[in-house]
Structure formats: C-alpha cells, structure tokens
Amino acid sequence: MQAASSISMAPTSAAPVAPARPAKSRARMMRQYDLVERVRSYNPDTDEDLLNRAYVYAMKAHGSQTRASGDPYFSHPLEVAAILTDLKLDDATIVAALLHDTIEDTEATRAEIDAVFGQEIGALVEGLTKLKRLELVSREAKQAENLRKLLLAISDDVRVLLIKLADRLHNMRTLEFVPTASRQRIAEETLDIYAPLAGRMGMQEMREELEDLSFKTLDPEAYTVVRQRLDSLAERNRNLIGEIESQLSNDLQKNGLQARVYGRRKQPFSIWTKMQRKSVGFEQLSDIFGFRIVLKDVECCYRALGIVHTTWPVVPGRFKDYISTPKQNDYRSLHTTVIGPGKQRVELQIRTEEMDEIAELGIAAHAFYKDGLGSPTERLKRESSAFAWLRHTIAILSESANPEEFLEHTKLELFHDQVFCFTPKGKLIALPRQANVIDFAYAVHTDVGNSAVGCKINGKFAPLSSELQNGDEVEVLTSDAQSSPPSAWESLAVTGKARAAIRRATRTAVRDQYAGLGRRLVERLFARAKIEYADDKLKGALPRLARASIEDVMAAVGRGEMKASNVARAMYPDYKEERVARYAGKKGVAEKLKSPGGTARNLSAIPIRGINSDLPVKFAPNGGAVPGDRIVGIISPGEGITIYPIQSPALKDFEEQPERWLDVRWDVDESTPQRFPARIQVDNVNEPGSLAQIATVIAEHDGNIDNIHMARRSPDFTELTIDLEVYDLKHLSAIIAQLRAKAVVARVERVNG
C-alpha cells in the first residue's frame, strides 16, 4: 500500500503524531442475562439453559487468562457472541461462539464439548480450532493449512464462517493492544482473506469494517487523510444530502410509491482503493455519496427507476441491473447515476427491503434460528448462490498440490470484482475482472478448458487470451486432438479454478509421459530376460514396491526413482539382474548400434518420435539430433531421456554410468513431418548483406532459425553459431551444401555438443 504522500492530497490540518501504546482496557463485560435477552429479542423460543451453561462453561474454562488489553480473556468470546446476536443467529451458533477458543486455548477437549453440548456444537468448535504442531517450514504454509481446514469446515456448516468472521472482527477492533509486528501480519491477512470472504458472502457491512480497520493499521497516515477529507466534505454537503433525500422521497410519493430513502458515504478504504486504481485525486471523485431507495417489491423498483430517469438526466453507461442478473454473492439492486441538484452526480441503488437486508447481512440474512426449515447449511444450498459458489470453490482449492498454491488460489478467487458473460446458449458465467477466454472455458467445464483451441467473442474470432467485458457472448472452440492445455496458459489465467486445472492437467500429462517411458523400460527388460510381464501380476506385487497403482510404479521407473529390475524382482523373487556391460566410449556405442543410418531394427529399442511424443524426451542441448543420425538415449532421474547422436563428445561424461544408457531408434511418421534441432557453425565474410544471404539460403530450403550467436574472430570474419530446426539429416546436409556454395561463407560445420 502506497504512502499518502504519493498522491496529490494533504490533510486539512497537520498529520497527527503516531499515538503511544494505548492504555490497558477495562471494558465492562456483558452479563449472562444480557446475552440471553439479546437472543430472546429475535428468537422467543431460545434455549436459555443452553446459553447459560455455555456462558458459565467458557468463563470457567478460560479462568484467569487475559488478553493483551488486560481484559479477562472470556470478554473476547463474549463479544464475538454479541456480534452474532446482531446478525440474529441461532442458539447453536451463539454457544459455539462462546466456546470457540476452548479446545485451542484451554484444557477442554472435543469429546468433552460433545458430551456437554452435543455433537453439532462440538463440530462447530472443532472447525474453528487451528491445527497444532504443524511440521511446516514457512509461516505461509501454516497459514494455508489452517485456512484449508477452516474452509473445509465451512463447506460442511456455514455457521463456522459466521463465527470466524465475528471472531476476526472483534480481534481487529482491539488490534491496538497487539504488538506491532503481529498487528501488521493480522491486518494483512484480514485484508487479503477475511474481508474479501465476507464480501463474497454478501456481508457488506462486515466487509467494510474489516477493510477500514485493516487500512487504519497498514497505512494510518493515508487513513487519517481520507477520513478528514470525508468528514469535511460531509459537513459542506450536509444540506445538499438532505435536499436530495427529500426530493427523491417527494417525487416517488407523488407517483404513488412509498419508499425509504437515505444517503450514505463510502468508507475510507473504498475511496482510497478507487483513487489508487484510477490514479485520481480526492477532488476528482464524483460518487463519494450514494443514496438508497428501498421499496416494497420488485415492480416498485422498476417504477421508481423510470421516475428517477424522467426527472433527472442520466449519466450514460452507469446503469446496471443486478435484479435480473444477481451477483454471485446474492446481491440484487438496480444501480444508476443521475445529475441531481447543483449539477452533482448522484449514485442511486434501488432495491426491496429483502434485497437491502441481504445486501448488508449476506448469508446471515437467512433466519437460521427458525424451526422446521432444515439445517442452516442445507437451507443455504437451496437458497444462496453465494454459498453454492463457496462450496464449489473449496472443492477446487482442495485439489491444490501444496499449501502455498492453495493460499494463492484462495486469494485469486476471493479478491476480484465480476464481469458477466454468456455462452451461445445463454448460460450466464460470472468471472473476475480481467478474466479472459481461458478462464471462461474452465468456468464452463474443465474438459472444455483442456481442449480449447480457439474462440469467438460476439461472433468474431479472437485470441484465447482476450480480456472479457460485461455482456460478451463467448463461444469456445475445442478439438479432440488436444487433451492437455499448454503449460504457458497458467501464467495467462486469472481464476484459481483455471490455474489449478491447467497445473493439474500439466502434471497429469508429464506423469503420463513418465509412466509411458517406465512401461517401455519394464517391458524391454522383461523381453530381454525372457520372463512374462502382466499388469495383473504386477498388481499383486504393489505392496512390495510401496506404490498404490501400476501407473505409480511405471511413473517412478520413468523418472528414474525405481529400477526396472526392482519391478522384476517384486514380481519374480528369484529374478537375478543381468550384468550391464560397460560401454567403451563412442566406439562401443557405435558397435552396439549396428543398424546402418541409425534406423535400428532392434524391437527392444525405444522408438523416438520427437519432443511432442508420449515420452519425456529432449535433445542434446548443444547440437541436438535429427532423424538419420545414429542415436543413443541417456536417462536422467526426473528429467526423462536426452537423445544424443553417437558422435557427440558429451557422451564421454556417461561412460562410467552404463545403467543410464538406453537403446533408442527413430520412429518418424512421414505423413506428419516435424522438425528436429541441429546446430551449425558458419564463418562468414564481414561485408554488408552477408547475414541476409545466409538467412535466405536457410529459408529457401524450408529450414527454421531458432537462435543465432555472433562472435567477431578477426577483422575479416565473423563466426555464427546457428540453431536450426530441420526435418532430417538429408535436409540438414542440403542446407549445409548450399551455404558452402555462397561466396560470403568461408566455412560451415555441424556442431555436435
């Protein structure tokens, strides 16, 4: 977050000196009967005995523990419960709030909570308990694992989320008593995860307070400046705000509509982020104040919109209908901006009472304390798009490979505003802003994303990386020939779902390649040893190999983590490994590879088709190899096979490691030619146009230049090292011959690294 000095706004008075550490707090604790009365005010059927028992149990469990403020620790769970009574939550949630730190911070156990208060409340408290003694190195990994546990608990019971948010809100309200280093970390975590999570659940009041409390901690100077400006502006515009409220009410009443109209100003953090996002000063913002018009039903909302639009001029492009197309967090309203009194821009939100309650309380607006409506979570599955989104997101996130990846995807999913796009059949797809067609494809279905090869946006062909806008109709073009996406898509995708799916598909494709290589190595060894191989027989030997599946075994062999001979020994305990003859350098290799021209007929040799084959194959880094070369494969653990021509001097490095040598043969499909890497060295005369002549020869002979390195060896000559892509040895030889015929070329040689 940038400092306030980086923008063109100064406080109306001198910036305050940073306050000293606050004095210890001695806030009055809410008493037992106060809590019961708060719950009874909205739920006359509350179980008073249950609330009283929980109050006493938690107070005794926390005993003499104190908070950083000096208050009894029990004041914290009590305040968390009070916040939840403002949301009118059920008895079980209030009791779990009172008990939420008992398992983690006292001698209480889950079994004891279950015995005293029942398994439902025990499960809620367990879901809020952090994992202890995590054997993880980084703080981020610990944070991610605790967040993963919390989210999984939330997917089972949404009340875990409501308690956690109330817990975080009270901790943020008392953050000034926490040491500075921890204060910064807690505020960052709140701004990164908990405030966006509250927003995604539609709980805007809680989200705004969490954001402002975090902002105040992370950048107190900027917070103070924005707050002062807002207070000053509110004072200047006090009469104008009252005038707009009165005029709106009168205009609606004249047309037979009874409405509740009130103005509210945006919060400091919302103002600050808009200034940062749009790179504007405070004075340039025109929508600091907004007005809400609350009516009895949807028909009245659209009537009110018509009255407003015929009374005041409309600001073009500022109308949004979230009633017909609700946001994913269940938010519904009509948004419009008009030019009101004094030629001021007036931002309006028009909604019903029910929409207004959901806009402020989100999923907490569903009356959990009412009987006969099923469990809160089951009810929300039926009633709330926000909770459906959360459960779906958690299912995706749980597949992340490691804690850091999980944390990254969680933040991606929580943080963005939305755009709404459509499939050709009219299905609505909600995506974060700046999302592209790749994200859209994976939002439709993982298989659509994996097989996407092109797209049309509003009927026109466009790149898959195209950023989407509200209202776009997107058609994703797929191909059965593509079962796995390019790994580069991961850096283009915006959504956690798309990134996770691409990463998973890439890992699967690589694993399949290693499994394919491993299977060939195993079958080759069995053929050479003249023993029978069968998957069924290997399945019975899996326990001896400590692998869960045949594919796991094959992938381990392909990666070099397990020897093929170990597989044979697991299946046939009497198997004795054959002795591997040591290769005597290049000459020994040449003797072993008897086939002329490199087209070996040895069926046990592994066929090589190129880098796009079903094997993890790459070519010698300093010179490559092309069909027509006699070749040998070197297997490297975790890297697959590297193909070398037998004349490569690099093979000397592997003379003492005969177990890494593989018999390989070319198996090129002439109907679908592909290029292979080769390197040549050219000494050319230093004269204008010489490089162009060399490039022209290569292009005219259908070669492709991948890279050129130039070195001036003398005043008259430059040495060019050119990495080419050619079809085979014959093709490479033809290019070399044509280059030698050029007057500007003194020498051409192929390089074998």
What is the predicted pLDDT for the residue at 15?
35
What is the predicted pLDDT for the residue at 82?
93
For residue 744, give the CATH number of its domain: 3.30.70.260
Residues 6+ apart with CB under 8 A from 688: none
What is the predicted pLDDT for the residue at 113?
93
Q: Report the percentage of the chain scoring pLDDT > 70.
A: 80
Amino acid 691 reads L
Above 90 in pLDDT, residue 12? no
Give the end of a domain, one of 498, 517, 543: 498
What is the predicted pLDDT for the residue at 3?
38
**C-alpha distances in angstroms, 130 versus 92, 101, 151, 185, 265?**
20, 9, 12, 17, 37
H or E stretch including 400?
none
d(Cα 237, Cα 288) in Å, to the nearest integer? Answer: 11
Burial code (b: 16+ CB inside 10 Å, e: under 16) for 697-723 equals bbeebebeeeeeeeeeeeeebbbbebb
Above 50 in pLDDT, residue 584? no
Above 80 in pLDDT, residue 625? yes
What is the predicted pLDDT for the residue at 212?
93
Above 80 in pLDDT, residue 130? no
pLDDT band at 371 (very low <50, low <70, confident <90, very high): very low
Range with the largest mean pLDDT of 233-247, 252-266, 383-397: 252-266
Beta sheet of 704-712, edge-to-edge order: 704-712, 717-726, 676-685, 745-751
Measured between its terminal Cα atoms, the distance across the chain in Å is 50
Above 60 in pLDDT, residue 412? no
φ, ψ dihedrals at 679, nearest 5°: -130, 135
Beta bridge partners of 723: 679, 707
pLDDT band at 1 (very low <50, low <70, confident <90, very high): very low
d(Cα 37, Cα 41) in Å, to the nearest integer? Answer: 6
Strands (E), 212-352: 260-265, 289-295, 320-321, 334-339, 345-352
pLDDT band at 213 (very low <50, low <70, confident <90, very high): very high
Query: Do 64 and 176 lie in a common domain?
Result: yes
What is the predicted pLDDT for the residue at 442?
92
Whether the Cβ atoms of residue 296 and residue 279 lie closer than 8 Å to each other: no
What is the predicted pLDDT for the residue at 643?
86
**Distance from CA of residue 367 to its chain's centroid?**
32
Q: Is residue 577 part of a domain?
A: no
Per the model's pLDDT, the better-predicted residue between 273 and 583 turns out to be 273
Query: Do 624 and 714 lie in a common domain?
Result: no
What is the predicted pLDDT for the residue at 390?
67
Per the model's pLDDT, the better-predicted residue between 491 and 383 turns out to be 491
Q: Is residue 277 part of a domain?
A: yes
What is the predicted pLDDT for the residue at 461?
93
Q: Is residue 380 part of a domain?
A: no
Above 80 in pLDDT, residue 8? no
For residue 94, give the CATH number of its domain: 1.10.3210.10
Q: What is the pLDDT of residues 723-748, one digit of tens each?
A: 998 888 899 999 999 998 888 888 89
**C-alpha distances in angstroms, 702 versus 423, 471, 691, 697, 707?**
42, 45, 17, 9, 16
Mean pLDDT across the stretch 435-462?
Answer: 92
**Distance from CA of residue 464 to its chain's centroid?**
19
Give the end of a domain, one of 498, 519, 550: 498
Of 361, 307, 313, 353, the closest CA to residue 333 belongs to 353
Q: What is the pLDDT of residues 653-697, one digit of tens each?
A: 887 777 778 878 887 777 778 888 899 999 888 888 888 899 999
Query: Do 32 and 168 lie in a common domain?
Result: yes
Which domain does 522 fall in, by range?
Answer: 505-571
Which alpha helices (DSSP H) does 255-330 contain, by range? Answer: 268-278, 298-311
d(Cα 418, Cα 416) in Å, to the nearest integer? Answer: 6
What is the predicted pLDDT for the residue at 47?
92
pLDDT band at 69 (very low <50, low <70, confident <90, very high): confident
Q: What is the pLDDT of residues 522-564, one digit of tens each?
A: 888 888 888 888 888 888 888 888 788 888 888 888 877 788 8
pLDDT band at 98 (very low <50, low <70, confident <90, very high): very high
Q: Is residue 2 part of a domain?
A: no
Please, what is the average pLDDT of the chain? 80
What is the predicted pLDDT for the residue at 483?
76
Above 50 in pLDDT, residue 578? yes
Please report, for the chain, how many H helices and E strands are present, in that order: 30, 20
Q: Which two tokens stand for residue 332?
A: 């519904």
pLDDT band at 140 (very low <50, low <70, confident <90, very high): low
Amino acid 431 reads L
pLDDT band at 586 (very low <50, low <70, confident <90, very high): very low
Q: What is the pLDDT of residues 147-196, one digit of tens each?
A: 666 767 776 777 888 898 999 999 999 998 888 888 988 998 888 888 88
Q: What is the pLDDT of residues 20-42, one digit of tens each?
A: 444 444 456 788 889 999 999 98
Above 60 in pLDDT, residue 400? no
d(Cα 561, Cα 547) in Å, to the nearest integer? Answer: 12
Query: Do 431 and 397 lie in a common domain?
Result: yes
Mean pLDDT across the stretch 114-134?
Answer: 80
Q: What is the pLDDT of residues 229-251, one digit of tens each?
A: 888 887 877 777 888 888 899 99
Q: Is residue 11 part of a domain?
A: no
Q: Which residues are catalytic?
A: 104-105
**Distance from CA of residue 120 to its chain's centroid?**
32
What is the predicted pLDDT for the residue at 16?
36
Query: Do 343 and 463 lie in a common domain?
Result: no
Mean pLDDT across the stretch 363-370?
Answer: 64
For residue 285, give the CATH number of its domain: 3.30.460.10
pLDDT band at 95 (very low <50, low <70, confident <90, very high): very high
Whether the Cβ atoms of residue 216 and residue 223 lie closer than 8 Å to each other: yes
Of 485, 496, 487, 495, the closest CA to residue 405 belongs to 496
Query: Do 239 and 193 lie in a common domain?
Result: no
Query: How many domains would you assign to the chain?
Result: 6
Least confident piece of the model among 86-100, 143-157, 291-305: 143-157
For residue 415, give the CATH number of its domain: 3.10.20.30
Beta bridge partners of 290: 264, 347
Above 80 in pLDDT, residue 67? yes
Q: Is residue 95 part of a domain?
A: yes
Q: Report the percentage of the chain scoring pLDDT > 90.
A: 25
Query: Do 283 and 342 lie in a common domain?
Result: yes
Q: Is residue 437 part of a domain?
A: yes
Query: Do 589 and 724 lie in a common domain?
Result: no
What is the predicted pLDDT for the residue at 266?
81
Q: Is residue 655 part of a domain?
A: yes
What is the predicted pLDDT for the residue at 379?
60
Residue located via tokens 């400046």: 225
Of 456, 519, 405, 337, the closest CA to residue 148 belongs to 405
Residues 6+ apart with CB under 8 A from 464: 436, 437, 438, 441, 452, 454, 455, 489, 492
Query: Do 399 and 492 lie in a common domain?
Result: yes
Query: Do 144 and 76 lie in a common domain?
Result: yes
Give the end of a domain, one of 544, 571, 598: 571
Q: Which two tokens stand for residue 387?
A: 């909770």
Query: Do 48 and 156 lie in a common domain?
Result: yes
Above 50 in pLDDT, residue 590? no
Query: Do 521 and 635 lie in a common domain?
Result: no
